[in-house]
Amino acid sequence: MSQIVLVHGAWHGGWCWNQVAGRLRALGHDVHAPTLTGLCERIHLATPAVCLTTHIDDILNHIRFNELDGIVLVGHSYGGAVITGVASALGSRIRALVYLDAFNIESSGTALFDHSPDWRVQELTEAAEAYNGWQIPCDMLIPFWSSRPAEREMLKKLTTPSPMGCFTEKVTLTGAEKSIADRTYLICEEYRPSPFWPFYERYSKDPVWRTARLPSMHDAMITIPDRVTHEIDLIASR
């Protein structure tokens, strides 16, 4: 049995992992999928002060108070930036890092937007300005997450705006995140245009990383839960 922490991306909540979490538990793993502050069922806690550090602290505290160790830490999309910050703080308590179509903060003192293509930064900034200035709605993104009408309707119902500070805050890293030997990057190859291909292309040439391509749009944990479960179980079981 492995201890697995699943970190959702922007606009989502822990609910998006339900299918994968159930399958992993059936395989005998101890699985956690907390919802980050200010999103979904925790939307009542949303303020302009919520940022990437807030969400890193969410996961650090979840790990601390559930006394987890030897963790397989999985981050989807924005959640990749969160798991990098967690690994920076916890170091050897993290056994493996898994980035599912996700951002990574590669340099201390930088923000998620510093690792994003200009077109994505402009798209999200304009969406926030048109909404309320500090939250980003996601209606324009849902068509890239799934092609199935029922899944799109579910995403419209269950997603919530995401605080802008999560994308703009520059975070300080210790370097401990780079000491974790088991690192995997999973790219969703049906999501285009995508801000994640540069990460996949770099890591596929780096012997430190294991990479794989998934036949899915961006929300693979919803669209192909069996395959995502398989990939995580491979890592957790070795």
Q: Enumerate the active-site residues.
A: 77
Q: Are strands 209-214 and 30-32 parallel, antiparallel or unpaired?
A: unpaired
**How far is residue 7's CA from residue 69's CA, in Å, rounded to a whole number?**
16
Cα distance between residue 63 and residue 146, in whole Å: 31
What CA–CA distance (Å, rounded) separates 83 from 132? 28
Residue 6: strand pairing partners: 74
What dihedral do alpha carbons 55, 161, 7, 141 form, nearest 10°? -140
Task: Report how far residue 80's alpha carbon sits from residue 2's, in angstroms, rounded to the nearest whole number.
Answer: 20
Q: How far is CA 196 from CA 23, 32, 102, 200, 210, in A?
A: 26, 25, 6, 7, 15
Count of Cβ atoms closer than 10 Å to residue 155 Cβ: 21
* Contact call for residues 3 and 70 (beta carbons, < 8 A): yes
Contacts of residue 114, defined as CB under 8 A and 6 or more positions apart, other chains included, come to 107, 170
